[in-house]
């Protein structure tokens, strides 16, 4: 038992970040999820980077073990981080729409039964890509490319949970109302 604790401690200490690394990770994570670079805004307004660093390091340590159970655990830990992001980024006024999309998508992490079913199905279906993503995450971490690590984790989340719906990107201004009216014909 002591050996297992020592190994876990070694893996956890292998992952460390400073505040700038946390900002880069969060920026990369958001980019990985919604393909939008919010890093400049995050660098101005991210709160609680010390707590985030602990959560990120723990999740990365779990994911890096590479087995299904630990990847599941790490993905759930990242899900917890995503659920807390609206508070951590509450001063980021230019990101409110992006945060809302992610918050809506991450709501699955509040429903354990649905989450576990979804994660298990998707992880097993995408196992080859998941393993490649875990390997890439470790490689990028070794290079101290925290933005890319965040992006890798975003990709891992999409493989695990599914993509953020394109429908959430639709705004009232982007709808072609004339096409809708033309296709409704005599219905009104």
**Tokens 């992952």, residue located:** 15
One digit per residue, the tens of pLDDT, for the chain of length 188 reads 444 444 444 444 467 899 999 999 999 999 999 999 999 999 999 998 899 999 999 999 999 999 999 999 999 999 999 999 999 999 998 898 999 999 999 999 999 999 999 999 999 999 999 999 999 999 999 999 999 999 999 999 999 999 997 544 444 444 455 554 554 455 44
Pick from 40, 129, 49, 47: nearest CA to 91: 47
Alpha carbons 141 and 74: distance in angstroms, whole number: 15
Question: Residue ranges of the domains in the chain?
Answer: 19-161
């Amino acid at each position: 038992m002591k050996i297992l604790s020592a190994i876990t401690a070694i893996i956890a200490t292998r992952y460390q970040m400073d505040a700038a690394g946390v900002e880069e990770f969060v920026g990369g994570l958001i980019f990985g999820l919604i393909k939008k670079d919010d890093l400049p805004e995050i660098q101005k307004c991210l709160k609680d980077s010390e707590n985030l660093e602990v959560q990120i390091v723990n999740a990365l340590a779990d994911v890096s073990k590479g087995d299904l159970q630990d990847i599941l655990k790490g993905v759930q830990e990242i899900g917890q981080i995503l659920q807390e992001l609206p508070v951590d980024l509450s001063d980021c006024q230019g990101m409110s729409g992006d945060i809302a999309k992610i918050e809506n998508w991450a709501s699955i992490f509040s429903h354990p039964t649905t989450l576990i079913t979804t994660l298990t199905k998707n992880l097993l279906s995408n196992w080859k890509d998941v393993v490649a993503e875990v390997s890439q995450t470790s490689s990028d971490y070794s290079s101290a490319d925290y933005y890319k690590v965040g992006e890798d984790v975003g990709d891992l989340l999409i493989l695990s949970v599914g993509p953020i719906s394109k429908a959430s990107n639709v705004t009232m201004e982007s709808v072609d109302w004339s096409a809708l009216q033309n296709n409704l014909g005599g219905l009104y």
